[in-house]
Structure 1
Amino acid sequence: MSDQVPTVRVPDLPADAPLLDVREPDEWTAGHAPTARHLPMSELPGRMSELPADDPLYVVCRSGGRSARVVAYLAQQGYPAVNVAGGMQDWAAAGRDVITDDGSAPRIA
């Protein structure tokens, strides 16, 4: 696996970028991007058929580490994907919308 994966910083992320959130369910529940699709990294190999067909697909996690590993894996499988550097922490810090499914206040740790 290459140490280099395609990466974009949150301020450079297109407003309509298709997001795949690979965090665990408790992290997703605590707060996520409004248009993101959720597919935990731990479930990815068994759920590849559920990947959106977007080109490229922007992958986000909490801080960018897991999403970088997912992007490297997806590239090996032939999927065009881009890591979102800084993850949801940078997303929230940049003032981008963060929602919860139950209406509670978002908590991005």
Structure 2
Amino acid sequence: MFGGVPETGVTEVPEGACLLDVREDDEWSAGHAPGAVHIPLGLLSQRAGEVPKDTRVYVVCRVGGRSAQAVMALNQAGWDAVNVAGGMQAWEHAGLEMAAESDEEPRVV
């Protein structure tokens, strides 16, 4: 657990799970998990309605700090959210699939 926040490893995120990426636009554009929903942490309170409440939400950032904040806020507001330990850095190191918003090779910045 990251500061008392529930978490799971990148290889334990179920296929097809609701994955919420709370990184900034430039980080998202450089490389992200395919199928993830992108809502920067600073906009989460305004856009929380876009996050489904009827399923567990796995939240990811670069290394886990921002996503832990998002998980705490979502869980306090009635969601079932889990932090993805190690964030997109761990995702990349595990060799999991990534996509980018450009023709460049996906990477974590």
Compute the TM-score of the two structures, normalised by the length of structure 1: 0.92
Structure 1 residue 18: Cα displacement:
1.4
**Partner SS for 1:68:** helix
Partner of 2:82: 82
Alignment partner of 1:23 is 2:23: yes
- Structure 1: gaps of 5 or more residues: none
**Partner SS for 1:95:** coil
Farther-moved stretch of structure 1 (97-106 vs 83-92): 97-106
For the aligned residue pairs, the C-alpha RMSD in angstroms reads: 1.2
How far apart, in 2, do the equivalents of 1:51 and 1:91 lie? 21
**Residues 18-97 of structure 1 mapped to structure 2, 5 A cutoff:** 18-97=18-97
Query: Judging changes above 3 Å, is the alpha-carbon distance between structure 1 residues 87 and 54 closer, same or farther for their aligned structure 2 residues?
Result: farther
How far apart, in 1, do the equivalents of 2:52 and 2:101 lie? 21
**Partner SS for 1:59:** strand
Structure 1 residue 36: Cα displacement:
0.3
- Structure 2: gaps of 5 or more residues: none
**Partner SS for 1:66:** helix
% identical equivalent positions: 51
